[in-house]
Amino acid sequence: MTGDLDSQRALVALGCRIAAARGLVDGMLGHLSLRVDDDRLLVRCRSDSDTGVAFTAPSDIRLVRFDGSAGAAGELDGYRVPNELPIHVETMLADAQHLAVAHLHPPAVVAADLAGVTIRPIYGAYDIAGAWLARDGVPVYQRAVLIRTRGLAKEMVAAMGDRPVVILRGHGITSAAATLQQAVLQAISVDGLARMALRVLSAGGTLHDIDDADWEDLPDLGPAFTTDAAWRHEVARLRAD
């Protein structure tokens, strides 16, 4: 596993920069993680020279134990784990499929929730993966607290249930998946749904779920497109910025 660590570290850092470039996190707050084994994860940490999530470097991604300590093979070296590390640990412990966790503060999602807008499948082929994600529901954890204890993180996980994304009221989102790419892409989809909902409302429209009859013609386009090509695009647009 150690041989993979540097590439995993680079991937988590890339995910942080992509999330920031997509407007899913502003400034210093927000972090991504990747589970490494039974008791350790790579997580975006902070140093005294940190310049924000948009500028995350692979060296900002540190290997720590689930209790936040550096441990025998850990490596904090002056970096500090996020206050909200329990978000990552409890989300991973809740489901063995949750190998990657993105905790972000997307303003559009927070605004939509505060406006009383529930994330619903208001569009279809515009973003098929997003539509299905919305169809099955994006729950809300109703507390606006800093999730810095395991107890609060367990509350959030309970609100999340068996869904891959949970909205944290007045705070942000947590997105979990088997891969780092998927966790970030899910977050981008939820942000897209929120932005579109706000746009429809600000144009004077009302929000409606798409017709039930449309679902059978909204096929899963497969991971080669939905994940791989989508991720290549995210990487390319980041580089073009």
Cβ atoms of 62 and 88 within 8 Å: the answer is no
- How far apart (Å, rounded) are the C-alpha atoms in residues 85 and 37? 16
- Residue 215 tokens read as 């679902």
Q: Which of 75, 84, 90, 155 is catalytic?
A: 84
The answer to whether residue 75 is catalytic is no
Q: List phi, psi (to 5°) of 29.
A: -100, 135
Residue carrying structure tokens 């310049």? 51
User: Phi-psi region for residue 68, left (φ > 0), alpha (ψ -120 to 50) or beta?
Assistant: left
Q: Which residues are catalytic?
A: 84
